[in-house]
Amino acid sequence: MRKLLAILNVVAWAGFWAFGFLALAGADDYSAGQLTVAALLAAAGLIGGTATWILLNREAK
């Protein structure tokens, strides 16, 4: 279970950073809908990464 949580944690944080960068840096090239989707995916990555990090810390004790 810990390995699965660790993998999900890495994937979630990678999604947060990748889509967060697209949402912030790609303002000129993308439409408003694309920026909204990127921001929502970044938010999902933030929530997922934080949740899996908390679960990993609970299992470590």
Tell me the CB-side half-sphere exposure of residue 22, using CA atoms within 13 A.
19
Which pTM was predicted?
0.87
What is the mean predicted confidence (pLDDT) over 19-32?
85
Instruction: Label residue 27 by pLDDT band (50, 70, 90).
Output: low
Q: What's the pLDDT at 40? A: 96
Average pLDDT across the chain, whole number: 92
Cβ atoms of residues 47 and 13 within 8 Å: no
Contacts of 14 (CB under 8 A, 6+ apart): 45
